[in-house]
Amino acid sequence: MSLYREKAVVLRSYKFAEADRIIVLLSENSGKIRAVAKGIRKTTSRVGARLEPLSHVDVQLYRGRDLDTVRQVDLIDTHTAMRVNLKQLEQGLSMVEAVDKLTPDREPVPHIYTMLSRALRALNDGSSPIIVGAFYWKLLASEGVAPTLEDCVRCGVSTDLVAIDIQEGGILCRSCRSGTAISQTALDILRQINSGGLAAALALEETPAVREVNHIAMGLMEAHLERRLRSIGLFDRHL
Ligand SMILES: [Zn+2]
């Protein structure tokens, strides 16, 4: 078996056999990895604490055919502050859950690894009411499916834009509208996130527009994941 080493974020873990767990990791260079961590359900296991979801670790693994095996784990960051604040913990878990659903096994996605580790660090430094929405939006953009925000995607007008539709791939004016309603303030926030103003967006207070951006980004993420699952299902049937 070959040994390799990766930096990774723990996305989730689940029980396996008597005392083992399967750890799902998003690694820097090897994409999403599933690995067995042996004996970590024993209460004395120090490795177990390092492999909690949201931990940022440096891990040595044996490559297996389906599952790898964890050999050694060093902590880069436990994100302790996030774990003791329920709101931040929920936000962190929403982010790793979306990444888990979005990424296929063993396909390198270094840009998503970078985005996730940065977002978790920012969240650990302090909660932001828009962090999950902004992170989902950036994830959708990295997948190439974030709706365009310039002009009405159907008729091209640049004023009176009132709706956003993932099926149409953009925003829509009052006469063409379909999908979800969007306010001008929420649209401005999304444009700000798109044009590199993420830090400024993260500093926003919770307002109706911020809640709207979260709601829109979560709805788009759900729609995208559903479509993806359906297309995978279709693919499977043709195999
Ligand atoms: Zn239009």
C-alpha of residue 87 to centroid of ligand 1, in Å? 39
**Residue 130 predicted with pLDDT over 60:** yes
Q: How far is CA 183 from the centre of its chain?
A: 25
Chain segment 19-78, per-residue pLDDT in tens? 899 999 999 999 999 999 987 766 566 677 788 999 999 999 999 988 999 999 999 988
Answer for the pair 62, 3: CB distance below 8 angstroms, yes or no.
yes
- Going from the Cα of 84 to the center of ligand 1, the distance in angstroms, rounded, reads 47
Average pLDDT over the chain, rounded to whole? 90
Task: Name the packing angle between helices 208-237 and 184-194 (round to 10°).
Answer: 60
Q: What's residue 198's pLDDT?
A: 84
Span from the CA of 161 to the centroid of ligand 1 (angstroms): 8
Band the pLDDT of 238: cuts 50, 70, 90.
Answer: very low
Q: What pTM does this model have?
A: 0.90
| CA of residue 151 to ligand 1 center, whole Å | 8
Closest residue by Cα to residue 124 from 79, 78, 87, 75: 79
Residue 37: predicted pLDDT: 92
Domains and CATH numbers, the chain: 3-80 (2.40.50.140), 128-237 (no CATH)
**Segment 81-126, tens digit of pLDDT:** 998 999 999 999 999 999 999 999 999 999 999 999 999 999 999 8
Q: What are phi and psi of 16, to 5 degrees?
A: -150, 125
**Distance of CA 165 from the midpoint of ligand 1 (Å):** 12
CA 33 – CA 27 distance, rounded (Å): 7
